[in-house]
């Protein structure tokens, strides 16, 4: 299995200036759900990152629902080879929102994905790999030096974690491969009071159809509805604890 270099990706973003990455997974009772991954690189844009000399102004505010796109372009798609048709149809459960403005220095992106089960959730990055989506190229341009292993320009955090969900419990744990990679790339010079520690934040949010009874991770913030949690970590916390986002949850029994 290909190693997903979460720590490398996050630490390398530090060279670009502050950034927040928000991952959200919403589960339904039948095990299906919606996953989204959002980026706000506006601060990077303000510092001049990702802008080439003489580059034309880019302004974009768009939502692409790929299921609708595939229907609208079905005649053109039907003329492609079967291999290409099968590839592009893998985008059917995705939607993409992009707001980019090189004048006001804004860059926000959120990609969402509907999944039927945990196994399909793991295919998030695989389905994006090799897709020719011009909007994703905007993100690739800004992360090309730090994300060379990802064809889509989108990091896939799902493959680095083992996730379990049912009516009784939820669990997410980093894989042994993920731990080994985190230890190998650990920055031993990073300290808690380092002013750069808060420049990068990664937030992971999970929403459930059941009320939470017990949680075993002190980093977790339980949402007011008691049907969701949020874990937010800065660069120091993530760098020094590969299991920072690991959590086990027990749900209430009615």
The CA distance from 196 to 217, in Å, is 25
Give the model's pLDDT for residue 130: 81
Give the model's pLDDT for residue 201: 83
pLDDT band at 203 (very low <50, low <70, confident <90, very high): very high
The CA distance from 93 to 147, in Å, is 24
CB 220 within 8 A of CB 229: yes
pLDDT band at 44 (very low <50, low <70, confident <90, very high): low
pLDDT band at 55 (very low <50, low <70, confident <90, very high): low
Whether pTM > 0.85 for this model: the answer is: no
**Residue 138 pLDDT greater than 60, yes or no:** no
pLDDT digits (tens, 9 = 90+) for 72-81: 989 988 998 9
pLDDT band at 157 (very low <50, low <70, confident <90, very high): confident
**What is the residue-averaged pLDDT of the chain?**
81
H or E segment to which residue 74 belongs: helix 74-78
Order of strands across the sheet with 169-174? 161-165, 169-174, 247-251, 212-215
């Amino acid at each position: 299995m290909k190693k997903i270099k979460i720590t490398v990706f996050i630490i390398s973003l530090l060279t670009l200036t502050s950034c927040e990455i928000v991952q959200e997974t919403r589960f339904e009772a039948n095990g299906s759900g919606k996953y989204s991954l959002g980026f706000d690189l506006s601060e990077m844009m303000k510092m001049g990152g990702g802008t080439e000399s003489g580059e034309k102004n880019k302004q974009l505010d768009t939502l692409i629902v790929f299921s609708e796109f595939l229907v609208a372009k079905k005649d053109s798609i039907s003329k492609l080879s079967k291999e290409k048709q099968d590839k592009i149809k893998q985008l059917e459960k995705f939607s993409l929102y992009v707001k980019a403005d090189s004048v006001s220095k804004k860059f926000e992106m959120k990609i969402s994905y509907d999944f039927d089960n945990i196994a399909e959730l793991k295919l998030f990055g695989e389905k994006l790999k090799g897709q020719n989506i011009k909007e994703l190229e905007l993100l690739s341009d800004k992360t090309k030096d730090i994300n060379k292993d990802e064809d889509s320009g989108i990091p896939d955090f799902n493959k680095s974690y083992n996730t379990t969900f049912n009516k009784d419990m939820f669990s997410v744990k980093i894989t042994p491969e993920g731990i080994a990679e985190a230890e190998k790339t650990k920055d031993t010079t990073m300290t808690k009071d380092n002013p750069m520690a808060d420049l990068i934040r990664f937030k992971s949010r999970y929403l459930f159809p059941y009320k939470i009874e017990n949680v075993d991770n002190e980093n977790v913030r339980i949402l007011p509805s008691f049907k969701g949690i949020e874990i937010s970590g800065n660069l120091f916390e993530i760098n020094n604890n590969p299991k920072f986002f690991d959590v086990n949850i027990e749900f209430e029994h009615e």
